[in-house]
Structure formats: structure tokens, C-alpha cells
Structure 1
Amino acid sequence: MKTTIQTQFFVYYLFLSVIPLLALSYYSYASIKTNAEQELVNTISFDVRQSQSSLDNLYTRFQKYTDIISNSTTFYNSVISIASDIQTGNMQQAIYTGAMNLDPQIKSLFATDDDIAAALVVIDGRPVYSYKDFISINNHFDQNPIIANTINTPNMHWFSSQSNPFGLFDGEYTVITKNVYDIMGYNPKESLCQFIILVRQQRITDILNSHLRLADSMVSVMDDSHTIIASNMDGTAASSARFRDITNRIPSGRSGQDTQYIGRYLVLQSFSNVSSWHIIQLSPSRLVTKASSSIILFTVVLIISLLLVMFLFSYFISKEIILPIKRLAHAMKKVGEKNIVISIAKHSRNEIGEIINGFNQMVRRIDNLFKLTIEIEGQKRKSEIDMLKYQINPHFLYNTINSIRFSAMNHQDEVTAGMLVTLSRLLRNTLSHSDLAIQLQQEIQNIDDYIQLQQLRYNNLLHVEYRIDDQTRFLYVPHMILQPIVENAILHGLSQKLNSGEYAGIVISSQLTDNFIHVISVYDNGIGIPNAMLERILEQDASTIVSDSLHIGLVNIHKRIRLQYGEPYGIELESAEGLYANVRIVLPVLKHIDDTVPISFEQLEKNYT
């Protein structure tokens, strides 16, 4: 039997160990792989933002140049003079003015900027000044698309990948144009000239490639209209079509994701903060996943090593657990034979030791439960015997009271006769009621009979007010739960005011709280409960209280509710010494006489001990 258990345990433990180990290994591999890929994506995103920042600096620098030229009084006056010379046909004077007035200013502006390949000032389609290259004023650019498309727009415009622009410059350039308006003349909306800057296309492409981490990536700078400002693509139709297909699937606007996978590409976007440009980089997803391929080998080796360790550990631990389990099985067999005094020695602090400790606690609690059950049964028999006695005694009382009432009526003492009727009804409802619970309206009737008897004693000086919620009238409450509290309120709380003729009032209220708590309150404006007594009054044992009926009544009711319904039900006390006392009876909502509230064994044990 030992070998069978040990073998089974070994197989089960090994099986249960391998599955979580494989799952954990796979999760670790996936997490490390994902983190590695995410780290690479974050790095690439950072590189794209760096490229965007470099382009923003370039854009801001050229914006600054055009703003300086546009707002220069010297430039403005020179352009006005050159335009006048052109209108009069004095071309030589126009060239001279451009050379003498424009050249020093533009050269000082571009002296330290190596990115600028050339610059032009164009008036009425004629190049009146050229920087770095001489261009004849006799050239006409009126029909040039760059001039024609920007002649009436105030913004700075970029035209990328312009081959041999204006037919005068060899190679590919990015052309930047800016209109200068007659802001000091009579027509501020009239364009005086166009200021044109040429930058070699390779310079912008170098900015894109300088931060490119994956060599096969395609990077383009685009504006809001999806016009390509710059790109590192080879210009073939296939690459352009592939790029357009991917970019058309990217959500438009700046609210789109900066990083996402579309098809077989990782798409990264970076939007400019100074222009309408944004960079889009397409990197093949295989290049991203390739970076984490070295993790696979490490994970496989780790899994094999852990499996070997778990195999050896499973064999060792199976031997260590068998003996305590056999002891536990033997003890459980003894308990099944009604031997509940048995206990197992605890030799270890591992989980088996905790199981043995739990088993010992369970045996002790079963023993306590047997003893508690015997005690409860004994109390139940005693209660049944007392009930039989109470059923005999009331008949004698009823007959005696009726005899006294007939005697009072014969002597025409109607007050005494009426009070005897009230007393008889109160005793009948109190002593002859065999149920543990009655409806609240019946309990209120009993209290009303009791108060009528007290009114006779105090000459109707007692003021009683009922505030009973209609939803609670037919709910069931423990029988005779209000009478001891109302009696305490009259005899202890209000006796001084009743004897002195002061206003003495009691308010009895009932309401529902949260639809599952029934709260009955008995409030009086008497002397209250001393503060020192208020906190510990309900914690006392009624059997130890001899002379203080106030304590006995409250403690008995509180214990009775706790025994019958458990926590959080019972009595809650609120009082201000010398001003008032308020006894709140917290009960479950019982709509039928057979309704019960389940009580745990721990609560039952606590209530009886």
C-alpha cells in the first residue's frame, strides 16, 4: 500500500508540477519576448521623434529666414526700387540694385548655413537676385508650376524632390517659397516678390536616415494633404504603391495611434509641433521579432533544467509526505469510530503540518459541538417543563381576576373592573402565547395594555406616542420584547418626573432600514443611563446580576436576540445622562412566523459560552 501511494503521489505531483512549470515558462518567454520587442519599438519611436525634431529645427530655421526677409525695411525698399526699374525697362539698374542692396543682406543671413544650396528673389517672374549662382534677369518663371502655385498664398510652401528646378539647377532639390507683400504700401494684399530657397534633397534624406535603426525601413515626411515632403524610398512604383497602401489604412488626423501593426509592417508616426508635417516609418515586423529570437534557446534550456530539478524534488517530497498522511488517515478512521478525543502530534511546519493542526482543531470543535448540543437539549427540556407549569398557573390567575372583577362590578367600581379586564388580557397574551414570535401590532397592543395599568398608578401623567411604520405592523418580532424595556423606561428613567409632575414622555417607533433590518426604538426623556454603565451594560452576564432589574431586562433581551438570530442583531443603547435614553432593538425582517436567520457554529458557540 505504501509503494502504491508513494508512486501515485510521485506521478501526480510531477504531473501537476510540469504543467504549471510549462505554463510559467511559456508566460516568461512571451513576456520577455514582448518586452524585448516593446523596448525595440520604443527605441525606434524615439529615433522617429528625433528625426521629427531635426526636421522641426530645419523648418523653424527656414521660417525664421523668410520672416526676417519679409519684415526687413532694407529688403522692402530694395524690392520696391527694383520693381520700379523693371517697369521702366531699366534692367541694368535693377541688376545693380539687387547686387548692391540685396546681396549683402542675404549673404549675412545665410553666411553660416551650409544647408542652403541657392536662393532667389523673383519679381514679376524675373529672377532679380540669385545667391551662390548667377541667373540672368532675362529668365521668365511666370509659367513655372512652383511660381504659379504659390503666387497668391501668404504661407511658406515646400516642394520636395524637384529635379532640375527652374531648368537652372542640376540635381534634386527641395524648393521653399515665401511671398513678400506690400505691407507698407497702398495694397497690403499685393505680392511684391517671391523669396525662394533651394535645399538639396539629399540633405533632408540624410536627416531621415541618420536616426534609422532598421535598414529596410521606409520613411517619409508628409503634410496634412498626404503630399510627400521627403522620403528615403528608392522611387520605384512597387515601393511607392506599397507605402501608399499602408498609409491609406492609417486613421487620419493626429488622434491616431503613434505605433501600430498594419499587415506585415510596424507603422510609427510622429507629428510636428511647429508645422503640418508628420513622419511615417514602415518597418517590416520580421525585423522587430528577429531581435528577440535569442530568447528562444535560453527558454528551452531553462525549461529542461527546471524539469530535471522538479523530477528530483518530486521524488524526494513524495517520501516526506507519505508518513504524515498515513498518521492522518489512521486518526480519521478513529474519529469515524466515535473516538473524538484523539490528537495527532505535529512534527513539521509545512502544509502537511497545517493540515494536521487543522484536523486537531476540527476534532476539538466537534467535541465542543457534542457537548454544546447536549447542553442545548437539556435547556430545551427544562423550557418544555417550565412551559407546562406556565400553562397550569394562568388558569388559576384568570379565574381569580374574574372573581375580583365581578366583586368590583357589584360594588360599582368600574375603574377597578376595567383595569382588571386590561390586566387579564395582558396576562393572557403574555402567559398563554406559545409561539416565540408574534406580529408587531399584537406586541404593541400588549404594551398599550401595560401602559394603561401604569397610567392608573401615575394618574395619567405618562405621555406615550406611537410612530409605527405601516410596513412593519405585520412583521414578526420576539414575544414580550418591548415590555421589559418600557418598564425600565417608566420605573428607572421617568419615575422622578412622574412623581414631581414634570412632563414624562415615551416614543415607541418602528421602521425598516435598507429593507432587511427592522429597528424598533423606545425613547424616553428621563434621567438617561450613566456613561460609565452605558459601554459595558450589555456585556454582563444576567446570572451574575442580582438587584439591578434594569440591567437584567436589557441583558436578557440582548442575549435572547443574539441566541435566536445572531449578529448583528440585538440591542443598541444611546443616552445622554440627565436628558434621555434611547433603546434600539435591531431585528431581521421576518414576514412569516416560521422565518429564521441562519447562524454559524462559531456564532452559536460564542452565544452559549
Structure 2
Amino acid sequence: MRWECFKQWVSTRKLNQKVKYLFLVIICIYLIVFLFMYTFVIRRNMFDYMMTSNMNTLVSIGSNLNGEFNNISQMSQLLMGEPSVRNYLKSPKIEKDNYNPEVLGALRNMMINIQYVSSIYLIRTDGNYIDASNSITYFHTEYLSDSEWIKDIYLKSGGYIVRVNAGGAFEYFSGRPMISMMRAVYDIDSQKRIGILIINLSEDILNESYQEVLDNGKHYAYYDENGQMLSKNEQVDEISRINITTQDYEQISVGGFFKEKVVSYYHVPNTPLRIAGIETLSLTKFVSKEILLFILFIILLTFISLSVLGFFIAHYITAPIQRLARSMSSVKNGWLQRVSLKTSKDEIGDLKDSYNNMLIEINRLIDELVENEKQTHRAEFEILQEQIKPHFLYNTLDTIAFLSLEREKEEVYSAIETLGSFYRKFLSKGSKQITLEEEIEIVKDYCKLQKLRYGDIFEDLYEIDESLKQIKIPKLILQPLVENSLYHGIRLKGEKGIIKITAYADEANLHIVVYDSGIGMSKSKIEALMTESNTKSFGFKGIIKRIRYYYGMEDIYDIQSEEGIFTEIDLKLPL
């Protein structure tokens, strides 16, 4: 139902409106196809590529950070190999506030050689320690008696562990986080534990690990094992709202359709650190500027082509058709004038020429129709005029007057009634068509009137199928033929004759046959019946022309005749 309503709505639109709607639909389809391609092909490929790239980037950043830790670990081994450091740790007893310039110098040299180091603590097994620091650092020494804290360090058997703020044992006065590398120190000779080395690194080591991979749209941050942010790029707020889980790697998407971002985080191996990254999904990162410019050029070229096509259709098709339609509108007012509009020699020009030729033909047909109508009316008028000529009426009245003197009054009354009935049916209240039964009654009245005048010179017979009597036929097509049979057939033969009317039907036609036993006709006379020079056959040509015009066909009669014997006219009227 809706489709039918839509088709009806489209059919009522003007041509220029249909063209505008068509271009609008093409543009909408163009945009839909572009969005579909972007959503389900380009965007998906970009998203998959970006997720893989982000994972590789985060793994690379984690590897860089572990590389820095390994470098610092190797340099710390050099520190532990210093004789002054070993002697300090192995001494059986040392004063709590003992100042050892050699050990302190070794610690400061290490701080100078290693970037990011903020403080170094060398702790003996008895709890005494010596430190070097370039910032205010608090050391909560009670952790030295915490077995769990000590156990994590000893389990590495000389290897280092990484903790944030040394697991809570250290903190900066500024409150900033620190990354602590802690390891147990063993005697080279006895392989006994002789102390703990703690190297505290500033958060700059974290920020520096991802500086090489930063670009437009990429930002990173580090978190500790509790999900607390340690460092971040200050430009992005979304990264601070990441919900870090215990998984080693995870990726999620945030933002809207055209502002979509991929958030990833990765657990740096052998550390409590997790690095998180956020990257904006951007077409320019995956497609070169040259390709983007080419795509934009194709889109622009498409719109220009559509615009040029629309201008061409409007200028060379819709506008000429509209002008042609306005020129043709005069037909509505009855003016069948040819269109004089100047058009190009194309289909529209052919349409104008065909329209003008059609008007010429219509005008010719109208003239022909008017002329046929005039001839029909003229023929009807001639028949009517012939029947109301004074001599016909006078002869009939003279016959009735003679009857009034010689015959009974009933016969006179019957003759007058027949005359009145004849003219009443003859006129038929101006109708152009009457039933077959009414036409036969006119013939009977006419024959009855003629018998009053000529006596028993002829006999009229009728063989009419009852089922055909109510068929409509043109008025006054039989009486003139009967009159011809009487005047040009029966009377000229000089003996009593027969006039017989027969009506029957076949599959296609109603046949009305007028037969007379008069003098008949030769073939030449039959052929001359419809010629212009023939004036003897009263009304025959007018009857045939009227019938042909009425039914719109030529083959409507046959004539059979034999000289001195009979004439038979068969009218073939289409059912």
C-alpha cells in the first residue's frame, strides 16, 4: 500500500522535481555507500591495525624500560665490587652515624654516571646505612624489621626487584613517586649476604621510556600495582579514567563514532608497573596525504559531474519539455494550433514535429468528420424533404378524397390514420436511430399508402426474426430502398410484383434484405449506383453514405440482381 502511494506521489511530480529528487537520492546513496565503506571496511581495518600497533608499541616501551633497569643493575654490580663498599658492609661493628668518605664518594660517582638516580642507600645487615641523595627523601627504617619486605629482596638471590617507593619504605618530600631498584649484596668470597642496595629513580625514567613513540594523537601513562597513576601526558584526560585490571594486556574503545579512541594497557614484565596508552583513530595515520587528496579529488569530481549532468538535463531536456508543454497547453482551450517553438534536432524536436503532424491530422479528421456530418444531415433532410414534397402529400390526399366518395367511411378513416402514423414515425421526434421494429412499421405504413394509390400492383412481405426487433439501427434506411423497388422496379415491369423485407443475423452482422421482383439491373448499372453521375436511384447513395458514416466501415452492403427477374439489396449492419 505504501509503495503504491509512493508511486502515485512520484507520478504527480513535475519532471524538474523528479530530476531534483533523483539527484538527491543519488547523493544520499553516495553518502550511505561511503559511510558503509568507512564503517565496515576502512574503519575496521584501521581499528585492527591500530590495536596491533598499540600492543607492539607498549611492548616496545616496556622493553626500553627494562633495558634501562638492566643497565642500572650492571652499574650497581660495579658499585658492589668496590673494596670500600665491601669493607663497609663486612665490618663487624660500625658506629651508627659513621661517616665513610670513600663509600659516599662511590655512591655519588654512581649518581653522576646514572641518569634518573635521585638517591642510593647502602644498608648493612645490622640496620646501619649510608646514603647519597640529591632530593629530600624519607626512609622509614621500620621496614628493615619487616620480614615480608626483606623476604621479597632476598628471594631474588642477588637479582634486583622493582618497587614503587621501595614498597612504602621511601617517599619524596614533594610527594612525587619514585621507582626503587632493590637487591641483596653478597660477599664475593663467602657468598654470604652482607647488605642491601637500594637505588631510587625519579619518575623521569618512566616518561623518557615513551618519548620516542609520542606523536600527534598518542599519549601514555604508567600505573603501579594498585592502579595509581605514576606519570602521564598532561594533554589527555581519558587516560586518567582507565580502569586497570589484573590482566597483562587489554584494549578498549572510547569516544563517539568520529572521535573514537583506543585505550590499551600492558604489564611491564618483572615489574609492578603497567603502561597505558590512548590513541585517536585517524584516517590520516593509515592513509597517505596523497591518497586522501586523490579520494577528495574523486569525490569533488563526482559532485562536479553530477552538477554538470544536472545542468545539462535541466537546460537541454526539462526546460525544453516545459516550454513545449506550455506551448501545447493552448489545446486545453480548443485551439488546435501547431507549436512554433524552436527546438534542437533531437528527440524533443521529433516530439514537437510529431505533435504538429498529429494536429494536422486531427484538423483534417475534424474537417472530414464535419463534412461527413453535413452530408449525413443533408441526406436525412433530402429524404425527409422527398417525403413531404407537395406532390406526394397531394397525391395521397387526392386518393383519400376519392376514397371518401367511393368507399366506406372506415376505409377513409384507416387511410387518414395510416398517413398520420407514417409521418409521425417518419419524423421520430428528431432521433437519429430507432429500433428495427419501428423502421419496419414505417415501411408498412408507406406500402399501405402506396397501395391506396396504385391498388394491387405489388404485395409486401415481411420475414423478421423476433429476437432482432429491438436492435437499434440508423433511421430511414429501408423506406427509400422500398420506394426505389416500387418506382424503378415493380411499376416499370407492368405486372404485379413482390417487395419482401427479410431480417436475420449471423455471428457478426445484422442482415436486412430488400427484395423486389421488378425489372432488375445489369452489372454496369449496379456498378454505376454509387457514382456521382447517377441521379435515377432515389436516395440510395445517401443511404449508403449514412450507414458507412454511422458504423465507420465501408463493406456494409451487397447487391444481387438479374435483368427482368429481381433485385436484392443486403444491408450488413455490424452487431
Does 1 or 2 have the higher relative contact order (CA < 8 Å, sep 6+)? 1
Q: What's the TM-score bracket when you normalise by the shorter of the two chains?
A: 0.3 to 0.5
Structure 1 length normalisation: TM-score?
A: 0.36
Structure 2 length normalisation: TM-score?
A: 0.37
